[in-house]
Amino acid sequence: MKNFDKPYIEKQLEIIDSFLKKPITIYIIGGAAMGFYDLKTATKDIDVIVKTENEAITLLKALKESKYKNLGKIELAYLKMKTRAVIENSDGFRWDIFVNVVCGGLMLSREMILRSNLFKKFKRLTVYLISPEDIFIFKAVTSRQRDREDMFALFSHSLDIKIIKEEIRRQAQLDTSKAWLSYFFVGIEELIEEYKVVFPEYEWFLKTAEDEMMERLIVEFIKKKPRTISDLVSLLKCEKKEIQDVLDKLQKNKNIVKKDDKYFNNLHCNGY
């Protein structure tokens, strides 16, 4: 598969606009956005998010009318990312389309939208570029081979770590079914290992990921049956204070409840 530069991608956006039947807005999240930020010379595809299924349908219709075709076989990495559609033209240029969510849970948050930068308004197509900080987050939680290279390019350009910290915590709150803090930290670890960088506030990210995993382990143990704090100390081999802090947080968030000296799953506590 060959690479495609900024003029090529912009021309494709212009072509798609000419086939659109109604206005839509897209947010570019990957290497194509990096190209428009001059952080990458070329890319193999364009990753875009639309906010609604109707916009996805409108975009797909325009793509197909302009000679794009659905990919017959989609790579495992893209299946894991829960792509809404993968569609390609005769040059081998590909669109990866997502509806509001990437990787089955990482959301296009209100704050991401506010941070995005208007690239261009065509006749019916409005194009925004997700901020470099948010591209970095998306890259960190995916596992395609080139994502770590892109993370390094973004990191080298200087990023606002405060924005990244706030957004990754927000994502963890928006979707509690996924261990986003831990996924993100794995991406950071791989970046450090491959490129030998010193990542700012590394200890904060490490502790946050560890805390998240501790919370998940405790909830899973308590789901199986009610536990005392002594039970959890024995199971987790951690300090009592460390476990108590996590239990207090889980109680505050109403994930668990305490009766006498035992902790119960909040959804099933009446059954015991």
**Distance in angstroms (rounded) separating the CA atoms of residues 85 and 57:** 10
Would you state the pLDDT for residue 251? Answer: 87
Per-residue model confidence as pLDDT tens digits over 125-169: 999 999 999 999 999 988 777 899 999 999 998 899 999 999 998
pLDDT over 80 (residue 268): no
CATH 1.10.10.10 is held by the domain 208-271: yes
Domain with CATH 1.10.10.10 in the chain: 208-271
Among 17-31, 42-56, 195-209, 257-271, the range scoring the smallest mean pLDDT is 257-271
Per-residue tokens: 195: 């490129």
- Contact status, residue 94 vs residue 167, Cβ threshold 8 Å: no
> For the chain, where do the domains classified as CATH 3.30.460.40 start and end?
6-200
Whole-number Å distance between alpha carbons of 127 and 130: 10
pTM of the predicted model, to two decimals? 0.84
Which of the pair, 178 or 187, is modelled with greater confidence? 187
6-200 has which CATH code?
3.30.460.40
pLDDT tens-digit series, residues 16-55: 999 999 999 999 998 999 999 999 998 989 999 999 999 9
CB 151 within 8 A of CB 37: no
